C-alpha cells in the first residue's frame, strides 16, 4: 500500500473542516457522541495528566515528558496547535505519529462520524484518543485546546492530575471578559478527588480554583504554598514537604521557564504514581525542548537573509501576559550582552495588539509589522502598525518576514541586532517552515 502523501492529509482535513457546525460554540455533546461511536477509547487510557491555563501549557508538558522519559516511562502526548504539520500534535511513546497511521485514523474517525456536524479539533482529539488506546504507554499528557470546561479534551472522567498554568486574559470572545470568568472556564477541568497542581495565580484566579477544588474534594498544590521553585546561582531549586532538589537550569530560555519546570516537578511529586529519582528530574529539566518559545534560530534560510552575526529569536506569544514574559527574557539577554532590539510582529485580528506590544515599549522603538500568511482572521499590518504608533514606537510595514529581515541588512548597526519574531503561533509555524527547521 503506498505511503500517505501530504496532499491526502490536506484533503481529509479540508473535508473534515467542512463539517464545522454553523454556529461556533463550545460543547462536549458532539465529542461525547463521537467517542461513544468509536467505543470510548478515552476510557481505556493510561493515567492522564490534564493541563489547562493561558500561558505555559506546552512548556510544562515538555518538562513533564522529558522527566518521565528520563525515568524510563513511555509517554503519549497531545498538544495543540501544530506549527508546521498536524503530526506534531500527537506523540506515541515519544515519537511523532507517522503520516500513514495518522491518515488511517482520521479516515476511520471520518467514517464513524458519518457526516455529522463536528469541529476539526474534536476530530483530531478523537483521533489522538484512538491512537493512544491502541499503543501501550505509562502516562498520557493532555493539553487543553481552548478554555477547559467545554474543551474537547475535557472528557477524561478520572485524570491522575489536573494542572493549571498561569491564567490570564485571552480568548475573551469564548471564555469571558474578566479574569474570574476565564479562571472558572480553566478550572472546569478539575475532577472529583483528582489532585490539582497550580502555578502562582492572581488572587481572583486562586479563589476560583480553590472554590472549585473544594466542591469536588480535590486536594490543591499551589506554587508558593505547598511547593516552591526559585533560582539560586543559576540553578533551579525546588522544595516541597518531601524535601529540596538542586537541579540544572532549564534549557528553555527565560526566567518564566523555572516556574513551568517547577510546575511539572510538583505535578509528578503530587501524584506519586511513578518512581522518579533526582537524576531523572535533573536530566528532564535540562533536556526539555519546546519550539517557538524563545527559540534561538541559529541556522536556516531566514537566518542567512538576516544581518550577519545577528541573533534571531522566535516566540509564539500572542497575549499581554505572554508578551510580558518574553520581554523579561529579552531584558535578561540585554543584561548579558547589549544589542539593539528589533521586533518583527504579526498577530491575529482578535488579539490585543496594544496590550501585547506595550511590553516591548521600554526595550525597543523599532517594530516591523507583517501579516501572517495564508491565515484567515489575521490582523492587517496597518492595524498592527497603528497599535505600535499609539505606544510611541517607530514602526514600518513589510511584505513578509523574509523581506523584513532583508531590510535590516541595509541599516548601519554598530553591533549586530537582536531580532525577535513574535505575535502568533501561526506566524511562528510559518517562520519555522520557511526557515527549513520544522519541529521534529
352 and 409 share one domain: yes
- How many angstroms separate the most distant Cα atoms in the chain? 64
193 and 241 share one domain: yes
SS3 142: strand
256 and 367 share one domain: no
pLDDT at 314 over 70: yes
273 and 336 share one domain: no
Strands (E), 340-406: 341-345, 366-369, 394-397
334 and 368 share one domain: yes
Cell of 395: 514602526
Within-domain flag for 81? yes
Distance CA 60, CA 229 (A): 14
Query: Do residues 231 and 237 make contact, with C-beta atoms less than 8 angstroms apart?
Result: yes
CATH number of the structural domain spanning residue 391:
3.90.190.20
Total domains present in the chain: 2
CATH number of the structural domain spanning residue 40:
3.40.1190.10
The per-residue pLDDT for 2 is 60
Among residues 260, 287, 314, the one where a domain terminates is 287
246 and 341 share one domain: no
User: Edge-to-edge strands of the sheet including 227-232?
Assistant: 227-232, 235-240, 243-247
253 and 389 share one domain: no
261 and 342 share one domain: no
327 and 191 share one domain: no
Give me the chain's average pLDDT, please. 95
**Which range of residues forms the domain containing residue 415?**
295-435
Among residues 238, 258, 287, the one where a domain terminates is 287
Cell of 307: 544581518
For 107-127, b where at least 16 C-beta lie within 10 A, e where not — what string?
A: eebbebbeeeebbebbbbbbb
Residue pLDDT, tens place only, 125-173 = 999 999 999 999 999 999 999 999 999 999 999 999 999 999 987 776 7
Strands 196-198 and 311-314: unpaired
For 294-319, b where at least 16 C-beta lie within 10 A, e where not — what string?
A: bbebeebebbebbbeebbbbbbbbbb
In this prediction, residue 27 has a pLDDT band, given cuts at 50, 70 and 90, of confident
Within-domain flag for 440? no
101 and 145 share one domain: yes
Segment 121-128 mean pLDDT: 98
Segment 53-70 mean pLDDT: 97
The per-residue pLDDT for 139 is 98
The per-residue pLDDT for 24 is 64
Within-domain flag for 233? yes
401 and 347 share one domain: yes
Residue pLDDT, tens place only, 334-365 = 999 999 999 999 999 999 999 999 999 999 98
The per-residue pLDDT for 172 is 67
Distance CA 183, CA 180 (A): 5
Among residues 239, 262, 287, the one where a domain terminates is 287
Q: Which residues pair with 244 in a beta bridge?
A: 239
126 and 181 share one domain: yes
Residue pLDDT, tens place only, 49-58 = 999 999 999 9
In this prediction, residue 18 has a pLDDT band, given cuts at 50, 70 and 90, of very high
Amino acid at each position: 500500500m503506498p505511503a500517505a502523501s501530504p496532499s491526502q492529509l490536506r484533503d481529509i482535513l479540508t473535508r473534515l473542516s467542512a463539517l464545522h457546525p454553523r454556529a461556533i460554540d463550545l460543547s462536549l455533546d458532539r465529542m461525547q457522541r463521537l467517542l461513544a461511536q468509536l467505543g470510548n477509547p478515552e476510557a481505556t487510557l493510561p493515567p492522564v495528566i490534564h493541563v489547562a491555563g493561558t500561558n505555559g501549557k506546552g512548556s510544562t508538558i515538555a518538562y513533564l515528558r522529558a522527566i518521565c522519559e528520563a525515568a524510563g516511562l513511555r509517554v503519549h502526548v497531545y498538544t495543540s496547535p501544530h506549527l508546521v504539520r498536524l503530526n506534531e500534535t500527537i506523540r506515541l511513546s515519544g515519537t511523532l505519529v507517522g503520516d500513514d497511521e495518522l491518515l488511517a485514523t482520521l479516515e476511520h474517525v471520518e467514517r464513524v462520524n458519518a457526516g455529522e456536524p463536528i469541529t476539526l479539533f474534536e476530530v483530531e482529539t478523537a483521533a489522538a484518543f484512538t491512537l493512544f488506546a491502541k499503543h501501550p504507554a505509562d502516562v498520557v499528557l493532555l493539553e487543553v485546546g481552548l478554555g477547559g470546561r467545554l474543551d474537547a479534551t475535557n472528557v477524561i472522567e478520572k485524570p491522575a492530575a489536573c494542572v493549571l498554568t498561569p491564567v490570564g486574559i485571552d480568548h475573551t470572545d469564548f471564555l469571558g471578559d474578566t479574569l474570574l470568568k476565564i479562571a472558572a472556564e480553566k478550572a472546569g477541568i478539575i475532577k472529583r478527588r483528582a489532585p490539582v497542581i497550580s502555578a502562582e495565580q492572581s488572587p481572583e484566579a486562586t479563589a476560583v480554583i480553590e472554590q472549585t477544588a473544594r466542591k469536588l474534594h480535590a486536594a490543591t498544590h499551589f506554587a508558593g504554598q505547598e511547593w516552591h521553585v526559585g533560582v539560586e546561582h543559576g540553578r533551579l531549586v525546588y522544595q516541597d514537604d518531601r524535601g529540596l532538589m538542586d537541579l540544572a537550569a532549564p534549557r528553555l530560555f527565560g526566567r518564566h521557564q523555572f516556574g513551568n519546570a517547577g510546575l511539572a516537578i510538583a505535578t509528578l511529586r503530587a501524584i506519586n504514581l511513578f518512581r522518579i529519582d533526582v537524576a531523572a528530574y535533573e536530566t528532564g529539566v535540562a533536556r526539555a525542548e519546546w519550539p517557538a518559545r524563545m527559540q534561538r534560530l541559529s541556522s536556516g534560510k531566514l537566518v542567512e537573509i538576516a544581518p550577519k552575526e545577528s541573533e534571531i529569536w522566535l516566540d509564539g506569544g500572542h497575549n499581554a501576559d505572554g508578551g510580558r514574559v518574553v520581554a523579561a527574557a529579552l531584558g535578561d539577554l540585554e543584561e548579558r550582552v547589549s544589542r539593539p532590539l528589533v521586533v518583527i510582529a504579526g498577530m491575529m485580528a482578535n488579539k490585543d495588539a496594544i496590550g501585547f506590544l506595550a511590553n516591548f515599549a521600554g526595550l525597543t522603538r523599532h517594530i516591523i509589522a507583517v501579516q501572517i500568511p495564508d491565515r484567515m482572521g489575521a490582523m492587517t499590518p496597518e492595524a498592527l502598525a497603528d497599535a505600535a504608533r499609539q505606544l510611541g514606537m517607530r514602526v514600518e510595514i513589510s511584505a513578509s518576514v523574509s523581506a523584513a529581515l532583508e531590510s535590516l541588512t541595509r541599516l548601519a548597526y554598530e553591533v549586530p541586532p537582536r531580532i525577535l519574531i513574535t505575535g502568533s503561533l501561526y506566524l511562528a509555524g510559518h517562520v519555522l517552515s520557511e526557515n527549513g527547521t520544522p519541529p521534529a
